[in-house]
Amino acid sequence: MSQSNTWLTHANPSLATIQPYQPGKPESELIREIGIDSAQIIKLNSNESLWGPSPHIRKLYQNPPPLQYYPDGNGFELKHTLAKFHNIPTEYLTLGNGSNDILELIARAFLQPGTSAIYSQHAFIVYHLVTLTQQAKPIKTTAKNYRHNLNAMKQAIESDTKIIFIANPNNPTGTFIPYAEIQNFLQEIPKHILVVLDEAYYDYLPPKQQSNPITWLQDYPNLIIVRTLSKIYGLAALRIGYAISHPDLSDLFNRVRPPFNTNTLAQQCAITAIKDQAHIQKVTQETLQQKTWLQQQLTQLNIPYINSHANFLCVEFENAEQINQNLSQNGILVRPIAGYEMPSHLRITVGKNTHNQRLIQTLHKLLKPK
C-alpha cells in the first residue's frame, strides 16, 4: 500500500488513527520466507487449540450441507443448543462471526462521537479498534502487574462513558480477576454503562476458579458475557462466537447484526462441538498438564513468564525480537506483542508434548552461551 492514501481525506475520520489488526503469521507465509517444509512448522502464535475440534466434526465435513442455500440467519438450532447448555432462554443470545464480530456489534450499537469506552492497558487490542472505528474516545487505564486494575477503571468513568471492556482471562497476558472482584465491580458501576466480560479463555480455568456470571444477569442487566468456539472448541477457522445478555440488549445487537453472519457449516460444527463436552474436558486437562511442564522448563532456563490462566504463556526475553526471529528460522511461530506495550515479551501457545519439547530444545540452543 502506498505511503500516501488520497482516499483517507474522504473516509471516516477515525481511520487516520487506526492500523489494521495484525493476526499471527500463517504457516504459508513462513514457508514462503524460508522455504521450510510445512511438516516442520509449529504454529504457537494464535492461541489456537493444537488438539483440534471434536472428532465427531469430521463426519460433517464428509457430508457437508448444500452450499447453494443461505444459512439460517437466526441460527435457530445453534441458539437452542447454547440455551440448553447454559440453561438460559434463546432470547439472551446473539451469534457472531467469532467473538470479534460480537465486540463490533456492541460498539456499533452503543458507541458514537461524543461517547467513550474504557479498557485496560495490555488488553485485547480489538477493544481499542472498535472504539476508534465508531469515532468514540478510547480510555486506557494502567494495568497493575499486567492485570486489569478495576479500581482504576472505575475511577476512569466519564459522563459520556458507554462501555467498559474486561477480558478475563486476559489476552495477551493470561492474567485473571477472581469473579468476586468482578461482581463487586458491577455493584459499583452505574447501570447505564455496559460491562463487557470477554471470556474467550473461560474454559481453560480450573473448576475452583470458574463461576457462572450468567446468573448475574437478573441483577446486572448491563452485563454482557462474550464467548467463542475458536479456542478450546478448536473451531477458529469457522468463526463462531456469541454473546449472552439481557434480551433488551440482544434485541439491539440483532438490529445491527449483518444478515447471515454465521455460516451453515459453522453452525452445525458448533452444535456438535458443544455436545461433546468429553472432548473439552480432555483438552482442558492436557493443556493444563502441558502448561505446567512448560512453566517448569522455563523456570529451569531462568526465563521469566507471567502466570497464565489461559492456553498460552507470556514469556519475557532480554532480546525478544531476536528470539522471535530465531524461532521462526527454526520453524516455530510465536507472537511478538510489542503492540501491547510489551516489547520484551513473546506470547506462546501451549501445544502438545511434541510441540512443547521442540520449543524448549530450541530455546536451549538459542540461549546456550557461545
Per-residue pLDDT at 115 exceeds 80: yes
Q: What's the pLDDT at 32?
A: 63
CATH number for the 24-52+278-367 domain, one of 3.90.1150.10, 1.10.10.60, 3.40.50.300, 3.20.20.80? 3.90.1150.10
Structure-block grid coordinates of residue 265: 457449516
- Hey, how many other C-beta atoms are within 10 angstroms of the C-beta on 3? 4
- Please give the pLDDT value at position 350: 98
Cell reading at 324: 522471535
- Amino acid 13: pLDDT: 77
Provide the pLDDT for residue 154: 98
CA dihedral 294, 296, 298, 301 (to 10 degrees): -140
Average pLDDT over the chain, rounded to whole?
93
What does the pLDDT read at residue 1? Answer: 44
**29 CB contacts (<8 Å, ≥6 apart)?**
none
24-52+278-367 shares its CATH topology with 67-275: no
pLDDT at 168 over 50: yes
Q: Is the pLDDT of residue 17 over 80?
A: no
Per CATH, domain 67-275 is 1.10.1280.10: no
296 pLDDT exceeds 70?
Answer: yes
Domain residue ranges in the chain: 24-52+278-367, 67-275
What was the pLDDT predicted at 227?
98
DSSP result, 230-243: SSTT--TTT--EEE
Share of the chain above pLDDT 70, in %: 92
CA distance 75 to 267: 7
